[in-house]
Amino acid sequence: MPTTTLQRSWSELWQSQGYLTGLKVFPESEIKDYRSQFDALEADQGRSKAEIGLNNLHFTHEFVWRLSTHPPVLEAIRSVLGPDVLLLGNHFFCKYPSESRGDKFVAWHQDVTYWGLEPPRAVTAWLAIDDVDVDNGCMRVVPGSHRHGILTHGTSAMAGNLLSINQEIPEESFDSSQTVDLVLKAGQMSVHDGMLIHGSNPNRSGRRRCGLAIRFISPRVRQVRANSLGRHYRPVLVCGRDEYGHFPRNPVPFQQADGN
Ligand SMILES: O=C(O)CCC(=O)C(=O)O
């Protein structure tokens, strides 16, 4: 549990930088077990699907639900979103060594651009399933870029962008000289504001780079149009109360580990 001083410095960092990183949420012994479950899923579904096509499996796969609602994950999210939190969705972002699947990368973007949310406010927890570093294409962020609103997204001219509609913020639209690499050990997590500019380079290592991106919103947010995949979200209340009722109430798919 962070101390009050730590909470204050977290909050200042969050407001000025738009991200937090290096948060330890699972010890190696536990993430190893979750990694084995992901390995089995990957073997079953195939690498092409595992890259970005394993969406919202928390409704059907208990281990994804457990990863997404692990108390230290939710504690970090509450510290930035407040006491009431909806789990909006999640998906694995899995990049394989370039030589096996080509130069897959994630172009510079802001998450909330095509999610159809009003206000366009969301937070992502990115939980490392594998060790992630510069060589295998860890996430990169532009600190403070969440404070300047949503920038115009164009289309990437490079093949291999993993984003849903090949969106990209052109590099000349922002100052990319201050980019920070989010290097994480498996079991660690970063958290970023939905307006933060971020992306990631191809995986130049011989190792897989897998993380689970877990999206959260406050219940005061509505979805006013379909997202870039033409879908409507099915959020689940994971902390506090929903006094707005903007979404149909979706039952918790699995009991909490403590039986509540
Ligand atoms: O995993 C990546 O490289 C990018 C992640 C990302 O864009 C996100 O979580 O919003």
* Residues 192-245 pLDDT 10s: 999 999 999 999 999 999 999 999 999 999 999 999 989 999 999 999 999 999
CATH code assigned at 26: 2.60.120.620
Q: Which residues pair with 36 in a beta bridge?
A: none
Q: Is the CB of 208 under 6 A from ligand 1?
A: no
Q: Is the CB of 26 under 6 A from ligand 1?
A: no
Q: What does the alpha-carbon distance between residue 158 and residue 243 come to, in Å, rounded to a whole number?
A: 44
pLDDT at 46 over 70: yes
Q: Is residue 150 part of a domain?
A: yes
Q: Is the CB of 182 under 6 A from ligand 1?
A: no
**pLDDT confidence bin for 9, thresholds 50/70/90:** confident
Q: Is the CB of 211 under 6 A from ligand 1?
A: yes
Q: Is residue 253 part of a domain?
A: no
Q: Could you tell me the distance, in angstroms and rounded to a whole number, from the CA of residue 213 to the centre of ligand 1?
A: 7
Q: Give the residue whose CA is nearest to atom 1 of ligand 1.
A: 93
Q: What does the alpha-carbon distance between residue 50 and residue 62 come to, in Å, rounded to a whole number?
A: 17
Q: Is residue 244 part of a domain?
A: no
- The secondary structure of 80-131 as a DSSP string is HH-S-EEEEEEEEEEE--HHHH---BEEEE-GGGGS-EES---EEEEEESS-
Quick one: pLDDT at residue 10?
A: 80
Q: Could you tell me the distance, in angstroms and rounded to a whole number, from the CA of residue 201 to the centre of ligand 1?
A: 11
pLDDT tens per residue, range 104-146? 999 999 999 999 999 999 999 999 999 999 999 999 999 999 9
DSSP for residue 167: E
Q: Could you tell me the distance, in angstroms and rounded to a whole number, from the CA of residue 243 to the centre of ligand 1?
A: 30
Q: Is the CB of 168 under 6 A from ligand 1?
A: no
Q: Is the CB of 213 under 6 A from ligand 1?
A: yes
Q: Is the CB of 106 under 6 A from ligand 1?
A: yes
Atom of ligand 1 nearest to the CA of 109: 7
Share of the chain above pLDDT 90, in %: 89
Q: Is residue 34 part of a domain?
A: yes
Q: Could you tell me the distance, in angstroms and rounded to a whole number, from the CA of residue 107 to the centre of ligand 1?
A: 9
As for how many domains the chain has, the answer is 1
Q: Is residue 110 part of a domain?
A: yes
3-state secondary structure at position 148 = helix
Q: Is residue 257 part of a domain?
A: no
Q: Please, what is the Cα angle at 126 between 125 and 131, to 5 degrees?
A: 150
Q: Is the CB of 124 under 6 A from ligand 1?
A: yes
Question: pTM (2 decimals)?
Answer: 0.95
Q: Could you tell me the distance, in angstroms and rounded to a whole number, from the CA of residue 237 to the centre of ligand 1?
A: 23
Return mean pLDDT, the chain: 94
Q: Is residue 64 part of a domain?
A: yes
**pLDDT confidence bin for 259, thresholds 50/70/90:** very low
Q: Is residue 76 part of a domain?
A: yes
Residue 167, domain extent: 7-239
